Every structure is written in structure tokens, then in C-alpha cells.
Structure 1
Amino acid sequence: MKILLTALLAATPLAAATPAFSPDRVKAHVAFLADDLLEGRGTGTRGHEVAAAYVAAQFAAFGLTPGAKDGSWYQQVRLQEQKPGATPAQLVLTGPNGVKTYAQGSDVLVGVSRRDAATDVEGEVVFAGYGLDAPAQGFDDYAGLDVRGKIVAILSGAPADRPDEIAAHLQNRNVKAAAAAARGAIGLINLPTAASERRSGAWAKSVTSSAIPSMTYLGADGLANDAAPSLKANATFNRAAADTLFAGSPQAFAAIYAEAGTPKARPKGFALPTRVRITATAAFRTVTSPNVIGVLPGSDPKLKAEVVVLMGHLDHLGIGPEIKGDRIYNGALDNAAGVATMLEVARAFAAGPAPKRTLMFVANTAEEKGLLGAEALANDPPVPIGNIAAVVDLDQPMLLYDFNDVIAFGGDHSTMGEAIARAVAKAGVKVAPDPMPEQAIFTRSDHYTFVKRGVPALLLATGHGNGGKAAWDNYLGTDYHQPSDDMKLPIDWAAGAKYAKVNYLIAKELADAPTRPRWYTGDYFGATFAPGAPTIPRKGR
């Protein structure tokens, strides 16, 4: 009997045990990356370079292969930093009540061209609702309006009755800017709604954020990337400035603001009896900052050509305006915790049998500057974009409680959502629906750059269960993009180890599956960005 049992055990392959994940290792990674010595890991700074070297050293210690095209750990991203020039920006509004001049940071925030050192734009103003131009999706805000050579004023966000990810895509500022430019507009004014004010917080917070230099990435032609280069200027108004802008108009801004607060608001556009002139200068400098890329080759002779990407942004805000005696924006949860999770997953995979598909681990740069490192990666990936089977983005895991659910932002557009549900169930965790669709999170992190290239991709975050909602609300209201996002937060390191285990299971499920994820038949994002790609009917339909 003993001989027979031994023979049976030898003939039966045992399922590989799930590796152990260490709270102490997660804590050690976060402690290093969020230390004051790294000065907030601002893009293009010495602190970020040190963080990138740390991640590369960890990849090397695990035994990963350098993943950049040049055979190194680093994909160098060329960026353009933009600061205010010698002449302060201002906006002059001329209307029925006379002329009013706004200095930068008063009731108006001015943004200027990414390609011109001096901006001087003037034109009549046309209100165009939310500025959404997608008739097939029920949005036709430019119908009947002539905005050629004019400045378009639009409400921020989208109607409240469409808190879905299609609306999240359409309300993205770059998408709205491109829509206005396609109609011939020369400038854009963003107007507040109650929802946008809740998202942005106090106006003073927006003014503070506007003082941080902006960036974009430089294309192969050396030009700054710009979704709408024909739009030479933009501005964001608070309610006081918006009231003045609409003075003497067919409808006061107060009425439009109130209408926008109703569930099915569709404010109609009209020409305003006002002109706006925006003048400003800008100073530019070129910055180089790396994406850090490590690869674990797959084990299957056929499937190893396909790649599953696990990534998290390494940058944060660097040194900024002083708040309560602190100027270092450490970014412990945003996103040292996400990178620490990725490192733990990479270590676990490297120590065990390789999965069938190749795994690529990426610590992106310049997410806080507008997803720029991920844009550069998706624009010029180390492997053909068609070989990338799936992307999972780890951004700002809320490790302040023992989570029992996760949110897969974008998971319901492809079979990735089903795969993730199967994977996390092995850890006793469930997938919950998006609890805050009004935040448009699907379009606000690095995975979205791959969605726009037709790759199934999503953002994973801890959910609202088991005290999660209170933790999220408190963090977003108190610590998000503040110096207080540091190691003094009551971080639950056991939750960090659990989150690493969950992401290991997800990556393994995707890497070992017999088929790569597919977009669902008729899904908006699949049809828009991957026309002609194989699809699969959604279950139950």
C-alpha cells in the first residue's frame, strides 16, 4: 500500500502552493519610497531617480530580466515641464456690465498652450452645455452652435444620470478639448457644477494645485503631446467668475448651475454677449524621467509571446506648498503602497515556477502629471502592443483597514472582470461594483492609456466593505495629495500583504488562462479602440 501511494503521488502533479506574503516586506518598501529623503518622488527629481534605482535593484535581486528596449531597466521618457513665464497670466472679460480683469489664481485659473511661449487669445464666448459631442451615446451639446474662432464655455463633468465609464471617458478633459477643437474653437472655459466642486474641494485647494508645474511628454518629432493643439488657451472659473461671464445672457449661470444639479440635466447651449481675452507667457524645460521595467519570461512555448502587465506609478508630487509645517508630499499610499505591492508580487513569481505567459512589471513615472509615463509606455511599448494581453494597474490601495472586497474599475468591459472574480475568491475576497462612479476613476489612472490602444486593462483598488467607505472618505477628504499621506498614517500592513496575495492570484489567473482576455461584444471601449478584435458575448445575454 505504501509503495502504491508513493507511486500515485509521484504520478499526480500537485497544485503549486500560493506563496507567503510578508507585511514587513511591504512596510519596508513603503518606508523607503515614502521617506523624506526622497522628497516626494517628484517627476524628474533626484528623489524619483533614487526611487527608480531602488525598484530596479529589487527587480535585479529577484532575478527578473531588464525590460526596456535598450536592454536596461529604464525606459527614459522625455517630458516638457511648463511653468509660468515672466508676464503673469490674466483673463479680461468684456460684457454688458463693462470690463473685468482677473489675475491668475483669483476667481480664474488660466492654462495656456503647451507649444507656445506666449499666448494671446481673444474671442466671443459660446456656452455648449457639458461640451459632450457623442450623439450615438445621447450627447449632442454642439447641436445648432457655431463655435468656429470662438471660445467655448462648458460645464465640468457629465450629467448625473450617466455615472458610467462611457461618460467618464467622454468627460475627460482631453476628450472634451479635442471635441471643441474639432468644431473650430480656439479656447475653452471650464465651469463649475456642484459635483465638480465636491470632487475638487475648496477653490483654494485648486489654486494651490495650479502652482505646481505642469508636464507633457515629447513625441518622436520633439513636439509636446497635445490632444487639441489648435486650442491655444483654457481657463477654469469658480462660481463668482461664472456669474460675471453669464451677465446679460439669456440664462443666468445660477440657473444653469441649479439645473446641472438635477439628475437628467441637459442644459442647452447659446451664445453669450461677452468676449474673453487670455494672455500669458510660459517657460519650458526638458526633463527625462524613467519608467522602470522588469520581465519574467513565460514558460509556455506558444503563450510566452503574450504579456500580462502589472504596473503602478512610482512618482508623487515632490516638494510643494507648505501645509502645517510640511512641504514634502511623500505619497505613502499614493503610490508607494501600490509599487510595494507590485514588488511583492514580482518577488513571489520570480521565486516560483514561471507562469505560461510572460509577466511585465512596470513602475511608471509622471502619472501625477497626467498619466505621461504610461502614455509613453503604451505609445512605444517594449513589445508589440498586440502582444500585450492584459494590464492591471495598482494605484493608491487603501491599506487602512482589513479589506474584504476589491473594485475592478473597468472590469465589466471585458472578460478580465470574470478572471479577477475567480482569482480573488481564492483569497476570500469578492469583487464589488464601482461605489463612486461620479469620480470617473476609470479614466484617471495609468491603465486607461492602454484601453485607448485597444488593450483590456483595469485599475484595481480595495473596496468599501468592512469599514472601507469611511477609510476612503477620510483619506480623500484629509490626506489625498497632501503632505499627511506619509508613514504616520495608521497603515494596516497585514492588509498590504493580503493585497499582494490578491494581485498575485490575479496575475496568475491571467497569465495561465488558456485564452487571453477579450472585449465583450458591443462594448463601447472595445468597439471604439479595438475594432475588429475578437470579442465574446457577455454572460447572460
Structure 2
Amino acid sequence: MNVKPTLIAALLATVATPAMAQDPAFNAEAVRAHVTFLADDLLEGRDTGSRGYDIAANYVASQFIAMGLKPAAADGTFFQKMTVREARLEGTPKLTLNFSGKDTVMTDTVQVLVRPSLSEKAVTLEAPMVFAGFGFDRPELGFDDYKGLDVKGKIVVVLTGFPKGTPSELGAHLNSDKALMAMKRGAIAVIAIPTIEDTARRSWTKRVELSDSPAKGWVGADGVAFNRAPGIKASVALNPDAAAPLFAAAKKPLDRILAQANKQGGRPKGFVLPGKANLSYASAWKDVRSANVVAMLPGSDPKLSGEFIGMTAHLDHIGIHGKGDDTLNNGAMDNASGVATMIEVAKVIAKEKPRRSVLFAALTGEEGGLIGSDFLARNPLAKSDLAAVVNFDMPVLTYMFSDVVAFGAENSTMGPVVAEAARKAGIKLSPDPMPEEGLFTRSDHYRFVQQGVPAVFMMTGFEGPGEKAFRDFLKTNYHQPSDDLKLPFNWDAAALFAKVNYFTVQTLANADERPRWYAGSFFGKEFAPSAPKAADPVK
């Protein structure tokens, strides 16, 4: 046999280079098939800990098995098991505000909403109150709401949200840390009053409807539910109408404070409120077992295979919930569509030999507070070095989109990767069109960010028919029984969404260097201060 040296060299190059589908064809009907199964009534909305969720988890595991992926859980299975605690109010909470020589007793949800406790079954506390503006305690970032205030052993009263004009991702992060900041100052409870903007986005009536859901959190081996702010004994939402007399007694009209907060850059200053508050409530607990579905594809490059690129999508939804004739929330868009597109991307990746390893995770408990992702981020698998995460959550697939939004892209070198992936897919990358929603902190990727891992979360964009379709879905179908297969799905859009995510993961898994936080990124400095940084991009 006479084989030319040039042919040998070509063959060797083929062996040494990971096999990559340059322009893979994604099967729209395959995505439809997954969504059809996962959003069926028989799964009863896939609530965490339910039989329906377990069926969905087994379905995803069977898909991983068919791809030839390896189980990634510590026990050699595809299921990273955990205990999830559900807490519901037992009886009626009572908040008493004592000021101006009289008691104002509040027990009706029209006035006050109390979050059940995952840590204590019975809570009774009494303390003075202090108003602390938006409740941000980061002077080095220009937020000094606690300046001059003594809140040790007291109840902090804050406004919801963040000052207008604050970068959306920073504001969303600080907003999620309010209880932690209050605890570090010595406060024992937090009362939050919705701003004008927040009320416009979610009415008090809607808040009351949502308050029917239990509080949830994962439970450690010691039987204690994980809590980032254990010193905060109560979290309360107070209707502005019910709070107004308290502020009037302090000669600080609440309507003026809310009006100030509604202006660009408005930051109401804190002050001591008159009198005391007394709060008592009880919680009933139910512990259930659930699991993240986890699989891995080993990397082909010995030097890089210890680094993992994570692909995540939450598998749970809110189950049977609400009032009316139909209370079954199928979660077709949220997030059967995300899981389905992740599965199809995984199929293509599994046929290749990427240099880095890839971790695939269908996560539990997202709807209850990013529970499964937090558990996975704090209990990493097989000593894996997670280099980056790409999260799939609720792509709205009712229109053929021409752009995508990638939350977190501007914080790391993942940004240019996503932009190029979008270009290769024939679309473009757009900035966050809904900063008021604070979406960066509201999906699973954020729990990995908090552990120092660069991450992005993509959603279908607002160009053309996108904005109307997206906002209509949020207003009419989000967390409603109508999020089902009767929606006008565009399955070709699902295939396109899979493609742009595939190009992103493919590039990350084969790049010479792992993603790095930009030097100027708040999140890189906050959560990965010692990690090597990339120079900020030139604007």
C-alpha cells in the first residue's frame, strides 16, 4: 500500500482535532417531542418533590443514557439527590405596630404578607424600627443607606428594588442581598414596602396570589435548611397603604418618599421610625426528596479535560397551584422548552470530542428559589473544575426571533463568544431590554456566579415581533395554567435557539483558554477576587 505522506498528515490532523459539526441541523420536531412529554398533564406541573417531577427526571436521564453520557452524581447515578424543605404558614401571622400611643394590628393579607420560616417553626419578636431607604450597604459602590443608623437588634424597613439608574445586573444583585446586608448590621427582621415602579410591575393583589406558595430551601446533612441570612428571623412585605400612618407619625410622608424613589437616581435617606413592631407567626414544615439530573461528557484533551463547561436548565415548574377550573401549571415554556433545547444541544455535543469536559444538569427547585443550582454549586461533582456555565431558561418560542439577549455576557470573555455564536446562527446579540425585571439574579446560572464561575443565560430577543410576544407571554401566561401546549409554538425558533447555544458551548469547550472575568466586572471582583482577569474590552 502506497500512502502519501500528505495524506498521513491529514489523517493525523483529523485524529488530533475534536470532531465538530460546523453547522449542525437541529430537529425542530425533536424539541417538540420533548416539550410534549414534559408538559403533559400526566406530569402535573413537575413540582419539586412530586411524582411528576420524578417522572420528568427519569425521562431526562434516559435521554442522557441514549447519548452515551456518563452519570455524574457521587453515587454513580444520574441523580444528585437532596432534601428540600417546604414551609407554609400555620395559622394567621400577626404584625402589631405600636406608635403614637396605640396599637395597629395587622393580620389580613390586604395589609401584610409574611414569608414562612425554613429555620424556626415559631417566631415571636418585638423591636424598634428603622427606615433604611433601599437597604443597600455598599459604600464603596456609592450605596450608603445605613449611614448614621443603628439597627442592631432592630427591624429594618426598606423599599423594594433598587434606585433608578443603577445598572440592572448590579441592582438586581444588591436587591437579592438586602437581608444579608441587614443581618451584617445586626438587624433581626426586614419589612419591605413596594415602590411605585415595583407595584406597577406586580400589584399587591398579585403578591397576595403568589404568597400562597411555600417557602423552599435545601436541607443539609445536619437537618438544618441552608440560609444565607440566618440572623434575619422574619421577612415581611407591607402594603404601602398600611405603612403610610407609621411614616406620617415620623413626619416623613410615605408618598413623598415613594415619589423620590421613583425619580432617576432617587435615594431616600434613612431615619428612625416611631414606636415598635411586634410580630408572631408559625410555620409548618414538609421535607421532600428531589434530585438534579446530572451527566458528563469527558474531555478529549488531557490538559483541559479537568475543566468543565456546564449546561443547565431547570426541570421543575410550580405544579398544581392557583384558583379556578384549571389549576394545573404545565410549564411548557417555563421550562420544558429550555430542557428540550438543552437535550438537543447535548445530543450534538455528545457526538463530538470537545477538549474540555461538559457537565449537563437538569435542575430541581428553581421555582422555589434556585435550590437545585445552589446545591450543585456548593456541592460540586467529582471534584470538577467548573470553568463556565450556559443556562437555558424559558426561551419564549412563539415567534421567529432575530436577536438574543445574554444576561452576564458583558462581565466576562464569554460575551464575544456569544456574540460570534449569534452571528454564526444568523442573528445578533442585544442588550437587556427589561432591566426592571432583574433577570440576571433570577435564574440558575446566578448561583454559579456567586461561586465565582462566569456564566450566561440567554433569552429570545425583542427585535421585530419579539417585544410584544415576550411581554404578552409574561403578562398572560407566565406561571399560569395557560403556559401549555396550546400556545402558538414556533418549533423552528426552538431549533434556532438550540443552534446559537450549541455554537456557544462548542467554542467554550474547545478554546485554548478558559473564560475569564473582565477586570472591571463587579461580579468578578465580588465573587472571584483572586482569579486571573481579562482586560476590559474597548468600547
- TM-score band by shorter chain is over 0.9
Q: In the alignment, does 2:515 pair up with 1:517?
A: yes
1:456–1:140 Cα change, 3 Å: same
Report what 2:97 is aligned to: 93
**C-alpha separation in 2, matches of 1:448 and 1:10:** 43
What does 1:238-257 align with in structure 2 at a 5 Å threshold?
A: 238-257=239-258
Q: How does 1:164-179 map to 2 (within 5 A)?
A: 164-172=168-176, 175-179=177-181
Name 2:336's counterpart in structure 1: 336
Measured in 2, the distance between the counterparts of 1:331 and 1:363 equals 15
Deviations 1:180-239 (A, max 9, x none): 11111111100111221133x222221111111111111233211112212111210122
- Correspondence for 2:476: 478
CA distance in 1, matches of 2:418, 2:486: 32
Contact 1:188/1:234, CA 8 A, preserved across alignment: yes
Residue 162 of structure 2 aligns with an amino acid whose one-letter code is: A
Which digits, 9 at most, give the CA deviation of each residue in 1:238-271, with x for residues without a partner?
2211213323113111111111110011101011
Q: Is 1:30 aligned to 2:35, yes or no?
A: yes
Structure 2 residue aligned with 1:126: 130
Q: Give CA-to-partner distance per residue, 1:415-472, whole Å, 9 cap, x none.
A: 0111111122111121111111121111111101111111111211111112111111
AA in 2 matched with 1:33: L
Give the secondary-structure state (helix, strand or coil) at the position aligned to 1:303: coil
1:438 corresponds in structure 2 to 436
Contact 1:341 1:496 in 2 (8 A): yes
Separation in 1 of the partners of 2:440 and 2:277?
Answer: 33
SS at match of 1:491: coil
Aligned to 2:44: 39
Specify the SS of the correspondent of 1:450. Answer: helix
Between the aligned partners of 1:301 and 1:276, the Cα distance in structure 2 is 61
Shift of 1:134: 0.3
1:60 alignment partner in structure 2: 65
Question: Is the aligned partner of 1:183 residue 2:188?
Answer: no
The answer to whether the 8 Å contact 1:75/1:291 transfers is yes
Q: Deviations over 1:364-413 (max 9, x none)?
A: 0000000010000000011336x111001111101111111111101111
Residue 266 of structure 1 aligns to a residue whose secondary structure is coil
User: Deviations for 1:475-520, whole angstroms, at most 9, x for unmatched residues?
Assistant: 1111111111111111111100111111111110100111000011
Match of 1:139 in 2: 143
1:114, distance to aligned residue in structure 2 (A): 2.1
Give the residue type in structure 2 aligned to 1:149.
G
Asked if the contact 1:112–1:119 (Cα under 8 Å) also holds between the matched residues in 2, the reply is no
Q: After the TM superposition, which residues 315-326 of structure 1 pair with which residues of structure 2 at under 5 Å, given as runs?
A: 315-323=316-324, 325-326=325-326
Q: TM (normalized to structure 2)?
A: 0.95
- Residue matched to 1:298: 299
Instruction: Check whether the contact 1:420–1:509 (CA below 8 A) recurs between aligned residues.
Output: no
Structure 2: how far apart are the matches of 1:401 and 1:128?
Answer: 44
Match of 1:196 in 2: 198
CA distance in 2, matches of 1:206, 1:306: 42
Q: Counterparts of 1:103 and 1:240 in 2: how far apart (Å)?
A: 14
Aligned pair in 2 of structure 1 residues 145, 11: CA closer, same or farther (>3 Å)? closer
Regions of 4+ moved over 4 Å: 3-15
Q: Retained in 2: the 8 A contact 1:82–1:114?
A: yes
- What is aligned with 2:167? 163
Residue identity in the other structure for 2:500: V
- Give the Cα–Cα distance (whole angstroms) in 2 for the partners of residues 427 and 15 of structure 1: 15
The alignment status of 1:50 with 2:59, answered yes or no, reads no
Q: What residue number does 1:369 align with? A: 368
Cα distance in 2, alignment partners of residues 15 and 447 from structure 1: 26
Q: Is the 8 A contact 1:357 1:512 kept in 2?
A: yes
In the alignment, structure 1 segments of 5+ residues that lack a partner are none
In the alignment, which of 102, 105, 124 is matched to residue 106 of structure 2? 102
Residues 110, 239 of structure 2: 8 Å contact kept? no
**Cross-structure match for 2:233:** 232
Tell me, in whole angstroms, the C-alpha distance in 2 between the residues paired with 1:390 and 1:6. 37
CA distance in 2, matches of 1:197, 1:381: 38
Structure 2: which 5+ residue stretches go unaligned? none
Residues in 2 aligned to 1:97 and 1:108: alpha-carbon distance in whole angstroms: 21
Q: Give yes or no for contact 2:156–2:190 (8 Å, CA) kept in 1.
A: yes
Structure 1 residue 19 corresponds to structure 2 residue 54: no
Query: For the structure 1 residues 6 and 524, does the alpha-carbon distance in structure 2 shift closer, same or farther, using more than 3 Å as the test?
Result: closer
Identity rate of aligned residues, in percent? 46
Which residue is 2:526 aligned to?
Answer: 528
CA contact (8 A) 1:95 1:247 kept: no
Match of 1:357 in 2: 356
The DSSP-based 3-state class of the residue aligned with 1:417 is helix
Q: Which residue of 2 aligns with 1:283?
A: 284
Structure 1, residues 128-157: CA drift from partner, whole Å, max 9, x if none?
A: 000000001100000001111111100001
The change in CA–CA distance for 1:10 and 1:300 in structure 2 (over 3 A counts) is closer
Cα drift, residue 530 of structure 1: 0.8
Q: What is the TM-score when the length of structure 1 is the normalising length?
A: 0.95
Superposition deviation, residue 10 in structure 1? 6.7
- How large is the Cα RMSD of the aligned pairs? 1.9
Q: 1:218 — aligned with what?
A: 219
* Contact 2:399–2:469 (Cα < 8 Å) also in 1: yes
Matched residue count: 532
Cα offset, 1:67, TM superposition = 1.1
Q: Secondary structure at the match of 1:129?
A: coil
Partner of 1:304, secondary structure, is coil
